[in-house]
Each structure stands twice: as structure tokens, then as C-alpha cells.
Homo-oligomer: A and B are copies of this chain.
Amino acid sequence: MKFSPLFWPIQLKGNTIYILDETLLPQKLSYIKAKDYKQACRAIREMKTRAVGQVLLVMYIFLQLIKQGRQNEIAKVANAINATRPTLSFKSLTDMVLGWSKSKAPLEKCILGFLEGLKYSRIKQAEEASKLIKDKDVILTHCNVSGLLPLIGEICLKQNKKISFFATETRPYLQGSRLTAWELKRAGFDVTIITDGMTASVISQGKVNKVIVGADHLALNGDIANKVGTYAIAVIAKYFGIPFYVLCPPASGLKSGKDIKIEIRPDIEMLEYQGLRLAPKGVKGYYPAFDVTPAELITKHIHLEIKR
């Protein structure tokens, strides 16, 4: 099985965490070296890594701490991690590690076991998704699902199903162009970029026949939070009667999507691109980083079954 660099974007070598800098893709495939948890937390805050990369990074931060013999700082580090981003709740992860620590479990072994289980579960998840796909399907996606789409494509190929992709560019950070189109093309798949506004156009023309997106958050009632723009695509997929599948993370403890706190990011991030001003000076923007898609618009949740 080949994996996209985005499938497992964090590594621990010696005492240093290597973090794939997703903001430099596709121009540069390079890793940030984090010598301690503060440097690693900064990478989370600055969105150098995202989605599964953040989960991995949290676990590798604790692993690094153990290797550095600073196990007594676990609670402080857990707090620092929890404070990095408002929308993404790291609390269940940090609580899990704190729980292991309190119960005197072999911490390193527990973390390594969790990571091994996560890898296995993600491959299983891609296999589950591949069962929903037919030969010649054209999949529309939004943002980036951290290496899962090339993996799904590869599994489909083994099942003699050849599929292709449309990726929204996903403004303002362009994860669709920079990450998804990059990793799909790199893996040999046919991929076409559209702007975020073209979804109704391409679906109405029959150019795509299924939607697969990821999710940053899954509530207990099946509502999901994902990169802003996902909700629009779900509404449009429903209107045109094509399936809308979600590759989900484990469910959080929140009851419904209404309980998910949406991070509002600085509007400068959408009004400028790489220092280039896109909008008139003095005009304001509104940038909710995520939106909540209600369960009733989701054809099927493709769950991540974590084995522990």
C-alpha cells in the first residue's frame, strides 16, 4: 500500500518531531522540526498541520515528553494543547493520555498502540468507502481528507474500479488545490480543480456523481463540522439527488451540531493571499473556518472504528 505524505504527516525521529508543513505545499514538501511541546503547539496554532495531522501531533508531543524524561509535565502540556484551537477539541485525546498516566499504565506502549490502531482504522475506513464506489464514478470532494482519497482510489483500482476526482479549490486556504489535487495527481489519479462556486454547475451537468468529504467533528446525533463550504455542497447534493458521504472522526461527546463551537478566524486570511491584497482596503470579511452539516443531509457516515 502506498500512502500520501498527508496520510501520516507527523513523525518522531530521536527526540525531534517532524511536522509536514502543509502551508508550503504543493511548492515544497518540507518538515518543521519541533524540539519541544511549545514549538509543536505553535505549529497547531499556525495551522501548519490539520485534521489527522493534529491528532498525530498531540500523541507525538506526549511521546516526545516521555523520551525527554519530562513525564511529570504531562498535565501542563495537556493544558497547553487544549488551548491551541477553539473548534477542534483535543480534550478527549489529552484526557485519554492523562487517564493512562494516572492509572500507571505503560504510557509509551499505550500511545504507540493507539497510533498503530489509528493507522489500521484509517485503512479500514478507506476500504469501507471503496465499497460505496462503482467503476467510472467521479467523486467531488472539498478541502482535504489527509491522504484518504488516494488510498480509496488505490483500493478501488485493486477492485478493478477506475475512478476520478473533482476537487474544489477550497478558499481561502486552497487546501483543495494545494493538498487534495496535489496528492491525487501524485498518486496517478485524474483530478480536476473547480472553484467553490462551481459545484451546482458540475453536478447539474452530470460531471460528478458522488460527494466524499471528511469531517473535523462528529456529534452524537450525526451532525458534522467540516471546512466551511461543506454545508453548501451537502445542500446541493441533496437537491440533485447524488450521495453525500462523510469520512468521520470518532464521535465527540457533543449532542448535536448546535453544540459545536465554530472558530471565526481573522478576515485578513481571506482578504489577502500570500501578501497580495484581494479586496479593497477597509472592506471587512467574515471567515467562519468551519460549518455544520446536519445529519439529514448525509447519505452515509463512514465511521472510523478505533481499535484499542
**Chain A residues engaging chain B, CB cutoff 8 angstroms:** 26-27, 142, 166, 168-172, 174, 177-178, 181-182, 185, 191-202, 204, 207, 228-229, 231-232, 234-236, 238-239, 267, 270-271, 273-274, 276-280, 282-288, 291
Given A273-B273, A276-B274: A285 touches B193 (CB 8 Å cut-off): yes
Say whether B193 contacts A286, CB under 8 Å: yes
Main secondary structure of the interface of A (DSSP, over half): mixed
Cβ of A63 to closest chain B Cβ, rounded Å: 32
Task: Point out which of A169, A200, A229 has the most chain B C-beta atoms below 10 A from its C-beta.
Answer: A200
Task: Find A279's partner among B193, B231, B291 (CB 8 Å cutoff).
Answer: B193
Given A192-B285, A235-B236, A235-B239: A197 touches B229 (CB 8 Å cut-off): yes
Chain B neighbourhood of A277, CB < 8 A: 27
Task: Name which residue of chain B comes closest to A171, CB basis.
Answer: B195
Cβ of A73 to closest chain B Cβ, rounded Å: 39
Q: How many copies does the complex hold?
A: 2
Say whether A172 contacts B193, CB under 8 Å: no
Given A171-B169, A236-B236, A285-B194: A182 touches B229 (CB 8 Å cut-off): no
What 8 new A-B contacts, CB under 8 Å, besides A169-B279, A171-B197?
A: A178-B278, A193-B279, A193-B285, A196-B196, A197-B197, A201-B229, A235-B239, A273-B278
